[in-house]
Amino acid sequence: MSTSVLGRAARTGRARLGVGLLGVVALVVVLGPVFAPHPYDAIVGPPLADPSGAFPLGTDILGRDVLSRLLDGGVNLTWMAVLAAGIGVVLGSLVGLTAAYRGGAVDAVLMRAMDVLLSFPEIIFVLLFVSMLGRSTVLTSALVGVAFVPGVSRVLRGAAIPVVGSDYVLWARVNGLPAGRILLREVLPGVTSPLMVEAGTRLVWAVSAIASLSYLGFGIAPPAADWGLMVGENQDGLSVAPLPVLAPIALILMMALGGNLVAESVARTVGRTEGRV
């Protein structure tokens, strides 16, 4: 079912536009560091210089080439967002599937624990632990991922409950197959469509969350290049030189919008498919 859903979703105009936007961002992330004209941390000119032949997007508030920092800045945001989304989806799926499969007291305890985590706004949750444990890219990504666990677990639990009650899962349980094997081989394939939607949605949210944390000064440490950090560093010079702020914002929006269009296309296709069942 998951392959057919992806195929139908890929034929929609919304998905094609999203893939196109993500393709542009991917080119910047993969090839940008190779073609950056200057080191991302090198001071190469006067602060907030206008665009010129030497500096196509001008310089930032410290005199660094904006184009070079822009081409280098997507790598950190991308791997951190992928790591955060991966942690959130894997842990959330584990909790949700376990709750649906075990039921009873296990289900109740796990869901109440998720309710407690869900009561904390995601950004506040991450800022709280980063302020206590210190700044780290891996830690920040992991905390963003943990903040996604309650939402993912609820979606996967709801999708898995009908699958757990199906005849083939009941047969496997009666025949004494290990719970882990049943979850991986029988239950998980039945929830791949909502799982794909969650993965795409959480990736988009991870991009926004990590860019926001970098803007607030809790993400990548200077002088590293990062699109969210670039916005925060150069906001005071926005009226004089807008490109150091607007250029990274444009790429963040392209990444978030592209991922959202693809995830929404898959979600709509899943909804139409389930509506016909």
pLDDT in tens, 52-100: 999 999 999 999 999 999 999 899 899 999 999 999 999 999 999 999 9
Task: Please classify residue 187 by burial: count the beta carbons closer than 10 Å to its beta carbon, then call 0-12 exposed, 13-18 middle and 19+ buried.
Answer: buried
Q: What is the pTM of this model?
A: 0.86
Q: Determine how many CB atoms are found less than 10 A away from the CB of residue 33.
A: 16
What are the tens digits of pLDDT across the range 251-275?
999 998 998 888 888 777 766 555 4
The yes-or-no verdict on residue 246 having pLDDT over 90 is yes
The domain total for the chain is 1
**Quick check: bond before 248 cis, omega within 30?**
no
- Give residue 276's pLDDT band: very low, low, confident or very high (50, 70, 90): very low
Instruction: Answer for the pair 214, 228: CB distance below 8 angstroms, yes or no.
Output: yes
Q: Which residue has the higher pLDDT, 259 or 1?
A: 259
- Give residue 44's pLDDT band: very low, low, confident or very high (50, 70, 90): very high
The average pLDDT across 9-20 equals 81
Query: What is the reported pLDDT for 7?
Result: 65
Note down the domain range covering 25: 2-276
Distance of CA 8 to the CA centre of its chain: 23
- Report the CATH number that the domain containing residue 251 is assigned in CATH: 1.10.3720.10
| Percent share of the chain, pLDDT over 70 | 94
Please, which residues bridge with residue 43 across strands? 64
Quote the mean pLDDT of the chain: 88
The average pLDDT across 90-114 equals 94
- φ/ψ region of 248 (left if φ > 0, alpha if ψ in -120 to 50, else beta) reads alpha
What are the tens digits of pLDDT across the range 159-201?
999 999 888 888 888 888 888 888 888 888 888 888 888 888 8
